[in-house]
């Protein structure tokens, strides 16, 4: 409990004194004297200014723990032993840095080794190592006069075996000072020049600014350029710290509680020094990485749970984009392979870090390797899948690879791993982790030779291998979990729904100023164009496909591109160019490769015509692109290779030297919209439709912070502010789902598939007898294909294109949904496994839908009479606390599910049709109109329905629905005649499906 008297509560040092008392009484610290101002000063000062350490404790630790080495030192150097030690120690600290000295120790001629820190051993099997760890001396001193040049004092210094590891400036809210004042004090009054305690690498590893409520920290003092990062737990989903009964909100620093051990405790602080802090070197730049609270908390809490529960558990970590996820993954991997349970048995034999993005794979390989302290622990699989197989088979400790490498024949030959435990750490865990590559990975880590020849037993074993495995724990990281991600990896809460195991929300990151709010300055534009036909009506230009072609023609027109380019370049010059000392950059996001190329030419032309020689642009797109008779590649246009682009855009070579040319604008089509970390991006110009996860990931490229970056700009030519806010809401705080998906829907899908009459159970059974017996020969494959082609023939004999398309979509839905539920629970119905594998073959052999020939729209067909871009919305699109929306569970396949009112209405429509025309239509026949809705509900129609009253837009929908119905029932004369001749029946059906479309557009 905190106890303050009325006389001392308003003193500046009240918090620092409370912190010290807690460290001494609960964490086993020794209290030492830093100056005459220190409490308890009695004529002796323990802090040595020139060396910036507690010499007496350094000697005490070495003598008590390494008596043999100390004896050799005294024998060899007689009376000058201490002087030699501290001379060599000082030199090592200057040359190598404190972190390296603590980790690697020091040798003195003629070969006398000294260790300056004993780290906690992975297990308790060696009592000597535990004793050494317990012998570490933690000490604290206050009012430390650290400089030989002036009398400046540091409030608190924490030492490990006499060497300073942390400094603390503490403020008291009741005196009107906060941790921000402490930060300012570090920046303005704590110059590191010629001060060993404050010198980067040589002195303390981290510097904390604290008050009773908040904590921030930095690893490098640079006067006015010093950047502090938040070190708070988070409060009610946002920034800050929660209340702690009977204590300050920052009690997690110095006392144990429901957060676990204190940050400054022996177990945590020494672990941070030994297995968290890292020095990142990029050319001439060096950055000391100290874990932020959410990174440290995530790793520690996961390890506590895994130690107690062992392998076989799943963990979802929802950490905001830009929050240092790669570092957290690296720390987690190293902790996982060293984790032992309460019986001192190793919990995980191997940690495998997997990703489905090759660029990020390289980033992770680099990051994880930086934490490697034992050569050979990390195996980077940057070659073939054979290399991956060998790494697993030989028991590599940490493996970094892409998920795709598991889907090869090399990995199919791997078996015998089921007795080994794996920590599988998944970067960006989205629905791809429920696909074939993820299943192949599970197979490789669990496969054993079967003990049975019975086909049913083999199928059952195969089905069981899809489900949860006792030897694999999945640790899934993402800032934006989807519904399937939550259900697959989330932890069930008291409400029975899955939740992230650990959360560092987008809202908290924004409120802590760790990332920027990319919605703070959002401006939307609307394009209006008028086209004139230059040829007679062409039926190929009608319908959804033709409408898209016409819109694309207008958007690609030189006039349209030119107007948008003018808006973009002028906005960039006026509002962005001067940011970051002239280093600010922007990205133009386009909807296709051709758009990107035309934008590139448009930007270069406008810059040239306006004489803006200070601006230069780059373009990024994949492959070769032919335009106006010329073939272009990204490398040819930029005049350097694709792999060089990130560095060229940044402006610096790998060795840290600048490139001669500076580029400000990057024009992209698909590339660099995810996984691209460029803090200099200050503006984004969007000319493509973005929705849901894609919108969040694309715009989040802007959120990286710098000391001189405090705002961003988005100009959007395609989306509304409401659209973008809707995309961000599910991921702003903790992502949730409304309900769990009903696994019984797999049987609904199975039944719907069989009702088409294309599938034959006997054929599926014969397929399974061959497919599951073992490795397939060429003859086996021919037989399987022959079996499947019976269903293909029945499919092709059906002249109802709507039914065919519905079957095709349902078959794919069954495969995806079965794969999903089979991974989250153990199923015991081999008929589903048989249908899933048969369905995969059938889906590949079904004839493709006939693709209409491309309509090449030219100036000879249409003329752009007028084009105008008008500013529509401007201001903040930022979300506030509570602006969240739960994700929907998987609940439908194909058409949207019907409400009870819609079911009644549909029944009445069917009855009216049959009564008036003597037909025998069923509700299933009428639902074929859903295909009409899918055909006509393009982006323009959806936007029209979303943003206008129903009576205003019904006429446009009615006309489009009528044309779509005629096309849909071209071969169904009975239905087509009714649609054509019976206005009343047609209107009833149209009204019904209009309301369905309206609900879908506005949901």
Which tens digit of pLDDT belongs to each residue from 318-341? Answer: 999 778 888 899 899 989 999 999
Bond preceding residue 816 cis, omega within 30 of 0: no
CA–CA distance from 233 to each of 277, 288, 294, 869 (Å)? 19, 21, 7, 46
Alpha helices in 798-829 (DSSP H): 801-824
Residue 164's pLDDT band (cuts 50, 70, 90): very high
**In whole angstroms, what is the distance from residue 1003 CA to residue 1001 CA?**
6
Least confident of 228-237, 380-389, 478-487, 674-683: 380-389
Q: How does pLDDT run across 856-901, given as a tens digit for each residue?
A: 555 555 555 566 777 888 889 999 999 888 888 876 665 444 555 6
For residues 625-653, average pLDDT: 90
* Across 132-141, average pLDDT: 97
Pairing state of beta strands 106-108 and 112-114?
antiparallel
Query: Considering the chain, what is the average pLDDT of its residues?
Result: 85
CA–CA separation, 635 and 687 (whole Å): 23
More confident residue, 933 or 354: 354
Alpha-carbon 189 to chain mean position: 39
292-504 and 522-732 share one CATH topology?
Answer: yes
Q: Distance between CA atoms of 57 and 54, rounded to whole angstroms?
A: 6
User: 443 — alpha (psi -120 to 50), left (phi > 0) or beta?
Assistant: alpha
Task: For domain 522-732, give the CATH number.
Answer: 3.40.50.300
Phi/psi region, residue 806 (left: phi>0; alpha: psi -120 to 50; beta: rest), is alpha
pLDDT tens digit string along 365-409? 555 655 555 555 666 666 677 888 888 888 888 888 877 777 776
**What is the percentage of the chain residues whose pLDDT exceeds 90?**
48
Residue 946 CA to residue 953 CA, distance in Å, equals 10
CA distances from 797 to 788, 790, 804 (A): 15, 11, 10
pLDDT of 359: 46
DSSP 8-state class, residue 29: P
Q: How confident is the model at residue 628 (pLDDT cuts 50, 70, 90)?
A: confident
513 vs 689: CA distance, rounded Å:
29
Question: Would the pLDDT of 415 be above 90?
Answer: no
Does CATH place domain 292-504 in 3.30.360.10? no
Render pLDDT for 481-515 as a digit per residue (tens, 0 to 9).
Answer: 988 889 889 999 899 999 999 999 999 999 998 89
* Confidence tier at 819 by pLDDT (50, 70, 90): confident
Given a contact cutoff of 8 angstroms between Cβ atoms, the answer to whether 505 and 481 are in contact is no
Tokens 């005049």 label which residue? 639
Among 623, 708, 706, smallest CA distance to 671 is for 623
Q: What is the mean pLDDT of residues 78-105?
A: 94
CA atoms of 439 and 577, how far apart (whole Å): 48
* Spatial separation of the C-alpha atoms in residues 975 and 968, rounded to whole Å: 10
Q: Which of 87-96, 450-459, 463-472, 505-514 has the lowest mean pLDDT?
A: 450-459
**pLDDT tops 80 at residue 428:** no
- Per cent of the chain over pLDDT 70 is 84
Map out the domains of the chain as residue ranges: 14-275, 292-504, 522-732, 900-1002
What tokens were used for 829? 């119905």
Token pair recorded at residue 215: 């904590």
Report the alpha-carbon distance of residue 264 to residue 25 in Å, rounded.
13
Give the distance from CA 490 to its chain's centroid.
Answer: 15
Q: Is the pLDDT of residue 267 over 90?
A: yes
**pLDDT confidence of residue 649:** 94
Reduced to 3 states, what is the DSSP secondary structure of residue 54?
coil
Say which range, 120-134, 224-238, 533-547, has the weakest mean pLDDT. Answer: 533-547
pLDDT tens digits for range 795-818: 999 887 778 888 888 998 898 888
């Amino acid at each position: 409990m905190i106890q303050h008297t009325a006389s001392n509560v308003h003193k500046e040092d009240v918090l620092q004194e409370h912190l010290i008392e807690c460290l001494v009484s609960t964490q086993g610290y020794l209290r030492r004297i830093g100056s005459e101002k220190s409490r308890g000063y009695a004529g002796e000062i323990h802090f040595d200014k020139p060396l910036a350490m507690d010499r007496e404790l350094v000697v005490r630790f070495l003598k008590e723990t390494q008596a043999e080495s100390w004896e050799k030192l005294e024998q060899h150097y007689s009376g000058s032993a201490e002087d030699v030690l501290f001379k060599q120690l000082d030199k090592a600290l200057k040359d190598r840095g404190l972190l390296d000295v603590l980790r690697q120790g020091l040798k003195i001629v003629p070969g006398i080794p000294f260790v300056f820190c004993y780290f906690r051993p992975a297990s308790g099997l060696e009592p000597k190592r535990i004793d050494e760890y317990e012998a570490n001396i933690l000490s604290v001193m206050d009012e430390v006069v650290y400089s030989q040049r002036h009398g400046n004092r540091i409030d608190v210094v924490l030492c490990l075996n006499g060497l300073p590891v942390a400094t603390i400036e503490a403020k008291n809210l009741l005196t009107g000072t906060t941790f921000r004042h402490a930060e300012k004090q570090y920046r303005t009054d704590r110059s590191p020049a010629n001060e060993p305690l404050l010198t980067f690498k040589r002195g303390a590893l981290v510097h904390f600014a604290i008050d009773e409520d908040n904590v921030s920290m930095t690893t490098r003092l640079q006067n006015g350029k010093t950047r502090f990062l938040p070190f708070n737990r988070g409060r009610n989903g946002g920034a800050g710290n929660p209340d702690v009964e009977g204590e300050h909100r920052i009690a997690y620093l110095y006392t144990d509680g429901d957060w676990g051990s204190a940050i400054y405790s022996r177990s945590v602080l020494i672990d941070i020094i030994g297995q968290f802090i890292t020095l990142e070197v990029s050319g001439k730049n060096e950055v000391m990485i100290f874990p932020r609270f959410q990174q440290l908390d995530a790793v520690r809490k996961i390890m506590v749970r895994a130690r107690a529960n062992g392998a076989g558990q799943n963990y979802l970590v929802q950490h905001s984009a830009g929050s240092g996820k790669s570092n957290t993954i690296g720390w987690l991997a190293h902790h996982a392979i060293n984790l032992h349970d309460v019986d001192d048995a190793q919990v995980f034999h191997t940690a495998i870090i997997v990703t489905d993005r090759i660029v990020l794979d390289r980033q992770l390989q680099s990051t994880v390797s930086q934490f490697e302290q034992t050569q050979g622990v990390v195996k980077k699989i940057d070659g073939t899948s054979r290399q991956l197989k060998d790494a697993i088979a030989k028991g590599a400790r940490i493996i970094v690879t892409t998920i795709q490498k598991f889907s090869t024949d090399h990995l199919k030959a791997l078996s015998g791993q089921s007795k080994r435990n794996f920590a599988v750490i998944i970067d960006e865990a989205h629905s791809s982790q429920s696909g074939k590559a993820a299943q192949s990975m599970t197979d490789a880590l669990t496969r054993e030779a079967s003990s049975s020849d019975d086909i049913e037993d083999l199928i059952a074993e195969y089905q069981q291998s899809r489900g949860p495995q006792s030897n694999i724990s999945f640790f899934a990281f993402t800032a934006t979990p989807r519904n399937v991600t939550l259900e697959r990896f989330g932890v069930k809460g008291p409400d029975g729904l899955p939740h992230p195991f650990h959360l560092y929300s987008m809202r908290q990151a924004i409120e802590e100023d760790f990332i920027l709010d990319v919605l703070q300055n959002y401006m939307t534009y609307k394009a209006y164009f008028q086209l004139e036909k230059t040829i007679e009506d062409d039926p190929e230009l009608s319908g959804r496909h033709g409408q898209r072609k016409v819109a694309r023609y207008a958007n690609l027109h030189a006039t349209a591109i030119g107007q948008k380019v003018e808006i973009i370049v002028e906005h960039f010059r006026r509002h962005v160019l001067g940011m970051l000392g002239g280093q600010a950059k922007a990205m133009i996001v386009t909807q296709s490769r051709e758009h990107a190329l035309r934008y590139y030419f448009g930007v270069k032309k406008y810059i040239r015509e306006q004489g803006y020689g200070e601006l230069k642009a780059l373009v990024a797109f994949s492959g070769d692109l032919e335009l106006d008779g010329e073939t272009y590649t990204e490398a040819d246009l930029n005049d350097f290779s694709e792999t060089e682009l990130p560095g060229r855009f940044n402006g610096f070579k790998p060795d840290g030297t600048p490139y001669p040319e500076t580029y400000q604008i990057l024009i992209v089509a698909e590339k660099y919209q995810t996984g691209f970390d460029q803090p200099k991006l200050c503006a984004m110009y969007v000319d493509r439709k973005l929705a849901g996860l894609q919108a969040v990931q694309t715009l989040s490229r802007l959120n990286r912070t710098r000391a001189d970056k405090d705002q961003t700009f988005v100009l959007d030519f395609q989306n509304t502010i409401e659209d973008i806010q809707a995309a961000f809401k599910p991921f702003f705080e903790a992502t949730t789902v409304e309900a769990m998906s009903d696994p019984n829907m797999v049987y609904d899908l199975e039944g719907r598939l069989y009702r088409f009459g294309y599938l034959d159970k006997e054929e599926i059974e014969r397929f399974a007898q061959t497919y599951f017996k073992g490795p397939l020969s060429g003859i086996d494959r021919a037989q399987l294909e022959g079996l499947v082609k019976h269903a293909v023939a029945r499919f092709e004999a059906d002249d109802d294109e709507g039914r065919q398309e519905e079957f095709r979509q349902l078959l794919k839905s069954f495969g995806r949904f079965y794969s999903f539920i089979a991974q989250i629970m153990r199923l015991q119905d081999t008929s589903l496994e048989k249908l899933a594998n048969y369905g995969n073959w059938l889906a590949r052999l079904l004839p493709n839908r006939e693709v209409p020939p491309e309509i090449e729209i030219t100036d000879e067909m249409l003329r752009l009479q007028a084009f105008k871009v008008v500013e529509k919305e401007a201001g903040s699109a930022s979300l506030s606390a509570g602006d969240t929306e739960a994700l929907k569970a998987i609940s439908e396949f194909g058409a949207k599910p019907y409400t009870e009112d819609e079911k009644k209405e549909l029944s009445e429509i069917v009855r009216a049709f049959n009564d008036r025309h003597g037909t025998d239509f069923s509700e299933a026949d009428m639902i074929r109109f859903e295909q009409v809705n899918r055909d006509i509900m393009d982006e323009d129609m959806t936007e029209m329905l979303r943003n206008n009253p129903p009576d205003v837009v019904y006429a446009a929908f009615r006309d489009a629905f009528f044309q779509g119905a005629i096309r849909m029932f071209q071969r169904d004369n009975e239905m087509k005649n009714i649609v054509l001749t019976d206005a009343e029946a047609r209107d009833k059906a149209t009204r019904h499906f209009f309301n369905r479309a309206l609900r879908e557009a506005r949901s």
